[in-house]
Amino acid sequence: MGILSHLSILHLLWAALVFCQYEDYDFEDEYGGEPDHQVPYYFNPNTPVEAPHFPFPVECAKECFCPPAFPLSMYCDHRKLKTIPNIPSHVQQLYLQNNNIEAVPAGPFTNVTFIREINLSYNNIKVHMIDHGVFAKLSHLVQLHLQHNELEEFPFPLPSSLERLLLGFNNISRLPANALEGLPNMTTLDLCNNLLDDSVFKEKPFSNMKNLMQLNLCNNKLQTMPPDLPPSLRHLSLENNSISHIPENYFHRLPQIIALRMSHNNLQDIPHNTFNLPNLLELHLGHNKLKQVFYIPRSLQHLYIEDNEIENINVTVMCPTLDPLNIKQLTYIRVDKNKLTSPISTYAFFCFPLIRTIYYGEQNVTASRPSQLRTPVFRRFLTPEEFQEAEDNHETLNQETEEDHEAEDSYFHPYYH
């Protein structure tokens, strides 16, 4: 009893000390200014109460750096390491990105109990070099970064505590039937830049992830929309696949979608009511083969339909009825590289009274159908506040480029940009 209460006082003192250091400690100086650290979970009020005991001074692998101000983090990144060093038992965040690690053996993890986050991105890890069950044993792990490795398969099994799994830029071509089972807390799954095709959908891999909010499947080989996605989904990224069709009522099951990215696909016709989604804010459909516009839900703010084959933007289709008490929220439309010959009908400004910018850019027109478009950017007169807001959203730039729009997107990659 006496020892226990002494220990907890020690803990409190330590926490206070750490917290004070955190205020004025110049972390960048000590660590050479990589801006990629998140504030460790230690400072997160949601940290589990069962904080581990750590020795004082903090134990650290000799290859790594354990900043006194972040005693639960071990930094071993950018060190040309070929193997994973032994991990002290108290470590909660482990940074091993940008090394030459090929294997994940169980040994170094022997004493680890409390680890919550592992960053193994930018290494040379192959799936068969991961010891079976090495991750599954880490029962507090919430975040695992394995992007930019050489995984040819999904790293299975994983711990049921996992919330964010980043597997982009690997060569994963299959998702085994049970790979994604037993991961009820998963919120973010990034599988962009892999070799996935429609065959992975046979087993309905995503259907059991009841809390999944963000699914990134960009730059794969999909030809159809993924079936059986969980209704919790908010951000869906499917750009740069070969999807040619969105089934009627596809999004009925996904009412919480906020942002949808489907640029660089082969979409031609979109069923009129496809995007009747009450929470949709951002819709990317650039670089497809669309000939027609479609219904625009009330919530939508940003619409990207550049580089399609649209000759005429029929505002009646986008906005079949006017409801002055429930105005549509659209502020920005990007329509460059289509086949428009005249500006959007002024009826659009009744329907979408908040429109600030229509980016017409250059249109692909022929001599037989010359353009009457006089300005590349339409801009409504903005109040100073609106102007500031538009500027923050990169909406007011004169020379808008692809990059501006990539940078603008804040709905995706919230965890690893």
Among 90, 145, 284, 394, binds ligand NAG (CB under 6 A): 145
Q: Does 334 bind ligand NAG (CB under 6 A)?
A: no
Q: How far is the CB of 290 from ligand NAG (least distance, A)?
A: 13
Q: Does 264 bind ligand NAG (CB under 6 A)?
A: yes
Q: Does 161 bind ligand NAG (CB under 6 A)?
A: yes
As given in the structure block, the two tokens for residue 243 are 């999807």
Q: Does 110 bind ligand NAG (CB under 6 A)?
A: yes
CB-nearer residue toward ligand NAG: 328 or 337 = 337
Place of tokens 């983090």: 73
Cα gap 152→175, rounded to integer Å: 10
Using only C-alpha atoms, what is the Rg of the chain?
25
Q: What letter represents residue 278's amino acid? A: P
DSSP 19-81: HHHHHH--HHHHHT--TTPPPPGGG-TTS-S-PPP--SSPP--TTSB--TTSTTEEE--SS--
Q: Does 393 bind ligand NAG (CB under 6 A)?
A: no
Query: Maximum Cα–Cα distance for the chain, whole Å?
Result: 92
Q: Does 281 bind ligand NAG (CB under 6 A)?
A: no
Q: How far is the CB of 122 from ligand NAG (least distance, A)?
A: 5
Q: How far is the CB of 124 from ligand NAG (least distance, A)?
A: 8
Closest CA to 88 of 75, 74, 106, 99: 74
Among 188, 219, 331, 363, binds ligand NAG (CB under 6 A): 219
CB-nearer residue toward ligand NAG: 52 or 108 = 108
Q: Does 160 bind ligand NAG (CB under 6 A)?
A: yes
CB-nearer residue toward ligand NAG: 288 or 396 = 288
Q: Does 150 bind ligand NAG (CB under 6 A)?
A: yes
Q: How far is the CB of 90 from ligand NAG (least distance, A)?
A: 11
Looking at residues 70 to 99 of the shown chain, list those that interact with ligand NAG (rule: CB under 6 A). 86, 95, 97-98
CB-nearer residue toward ligand NAG: 3 or 39 = 39
Burial degree of 12 (CB within 10 A; 0-12, 13-18, 19+): exposed
Interface region with ligand NAG, contact rule CB under 6 A, candidates 9-17, 114-122, 325-333, 391-399 = 114-122
Q: Does 353 bind ligand NAG (CB under 6 A)?
A: no
Q: Which residues contact 26 (CB under 8 A, 6 or more apart)?
A: none
Residues touching ligand NAG: how many (CB under 6 A)?
A: 29
Cα gap 286→155, rounded to integer Å: 33
CB-nearer residue toward ligand NAG: 197 or 203 = 197
CB-nearer residue toward ligand NAG: 20 or 133 = 133
User: 153: which DSSP letter?
Assistant: S
Cα gap 25→200, rounded to integer Å: 48
Q: Does 388 bind ligand NAG (CB under 6 A)?
A: no
Q: How far is the CB of 185 from ligand NAG (least distance, A)?
A: 4
Q: How far is the CB of 182 from ligand NAG (least distance, A)?
A: 8
Contact by Cβ (8 Å): 193, 218: yes
Cα gap 331→395, rounded to integer Å: 9
Q: Does 314 bind ligand NAG (CB under 6 A)?
A: yes
Q: Does 36 bind ligand NAG (CB under 6 A)?
A: yes
Q: Does 108 bind ligand NAG (CB under 6 A)?
A: yes
Closest CA to 333 of 314, 359, 313: 359
CB-nearer residue toward ligand NAG: 113 or 279 = 113
**CB burial string 192-222: b at 16+ within 10 A, e below:** bbbebbbebbebebbbbbeebbbbbbbbbeb
Give me the count of residues in the chain. 417
Q: How far is the CB of 97 from ligand NAG (least distance, A)?
A: 4
CB-nearer residue toward ligand NAG: 90 or 356 = 90
Q: How far apart are the first and last CA of the chain?
A: 47
Alpha-carbon distances of 278 from 226, 238, 256, 297, 325, rounded to whole Å: 21, 20, 7, 7, 16
Q: Which residues bind ligand NAG (CB under 6 A)?
A: 36, 38, 86, 95, 97-98, 107-108, 110-111, 119, 121-122, 145, 150, 160-161, 171, 185, 219, 240, 264, 312, 314, 316-317, 337, 364, 416
